[in-house]
Structure 1
Amino acid sequence: MAVFLSTFANKVDKKGRVSVPATFRAALEQEKSAGVILYPSFKHPCIEGCGDERIEQIAASIDALDAFSEEAENLQTILADSVRLTVDGDGRIMMPKELVDFAGLDETATFVGLGKSFQIWAPAAYEAHRNEARERARRSGATLRLVRNDGDGGGR
């Protein structure tokens, strides 16, 4: 699976078109994704984004839950609210107004690589979120146990 890295601020035009960062497009091409999948975040005022492989993992993980549970029903809204967008010849996507409004995007969208997925934020909201997350990590003494990446999802 491809990896989304780094942070990019790109202009959003009046029609809601925004350029997907070139490295993100390369990651999507690497995994042979048919486009970009976007949906509103459950946790933050931003848009979650991924390619086909990740959304298939999400769907399979939801399907593994008890079929009629509230948890499954809640998480199925990810799939219901998802949109698949095609990247045009200029590397842009046309974001639906509902998602633009949800994330409070105006003239600039901040693309944030999260590894297997990415987020799209309003710049000031992301700056506040990033600062808060770094402070939480510092206060908690966050550590990370590295796992071996052996090509099949990694083990230890």
Structure 2
Amino acid sequence: MFLSTYEGKIDDKNRISIPASFRNVLDYKATKEIYAYSSFINECIEVCTFERISKLQNFLDGMDIFSGKRDAIATAVLADCEPMQPDSKGRVSLPERLVNLVGVNKKLLFVGKGVTFEIWDKEKFNSYYQKARAMAKETSLLQKRADAGQ
């Protein structure tokens, strides 16, 4: 799994170096290709393996093929998806379209989220992190209250 948070930089040609621990996950999964797309939950770039894309496709296959919701999900993720192959040092070039869409500046963070990882502008993530912690705490408190009431 992709775990933890790592600092990184993006150069003038939109190249980044994937953190070593994330490269180890890719090596373990024996995958050379990763997929990047703009998250439709957060203002960041989400990255995953083909395994995750395949699960998404299986989910879409279970929906009505003429459904507007199915089409929206396919468009929002699959049509936005950019395949990338890290070089021997774990570097990839992010598509300019994705960099501009999410507003990644020079300093960025790689944020592990289990089966995916995200690439954030450092300042944007620091702001989001505080909101996420508060939401997680509130959710935890609500669950404890619900459990106590049973």
Q: TM-score, normalised by structure 2?
A: 0.89
Question: Comparing both chains, which one has the higher relative contact order based on Cα–Cα distances under 8 Å and sequence gaps of 6 or more?
Answer: 2
Q: Structure 1 pair 76/135, CA: closer, same or farther in 2 (3 Å)?
A: same
1:7-156 aligned within 5 A: 7-77=5-75, 78-140=77-139, 141=141
SS in structure 2 at match of 1:71 = helix
For residue 139 of structure 1, report the CA deviation from its aligned partner: 2.3
In 2, are the aligned partners of 1:31 and 1:53 still within 8 Å (CA)?
no
Unaligned runs of 5+ in 2: 145-150
Amino acid in the other structure paired with 1:84: P
Give the helix-richer structure, 1 or 2.
2
Deviation by residue 1:101-130 (Cα, 9 ceiling, x = unmatched) = 112111122110000111111011111111
In 2, are the aligned partners of 1:7 and 1:110 still within 8 Å (CA)?
yes
For residue 142 of structure 1, report the CA deviation from its aligned partner: 6.0
Unaligned runs of 5+ in 1: 145-156
What is the rounded CA distance, in whole Å, between the counterparts of 1:142 and 1:97 in structure 2? 41
Q: Structure 1 pair 31/99, CA: closer, same or farther in 2 (3 Å)?
A: same
Identity %, equivalent residues? 35
Amino acid in the other structure paired with 1:92: R
For residue 29 of structure 1, report the CA deviation from its aligned partner: 1.7
CA RMSD of aligned residues (A): 1.5
Q: Which runs of 4+ in 1 moved over 4 A?
A: none
How many residues are treated as equivalent by the alignment? 142
SS in structure 1 at match of 2:32 = coil
SS in structure 2 at match of 1:81 = coil
For residue 34 of structure 1, report the CA deviation from its aligned partner: 2.9
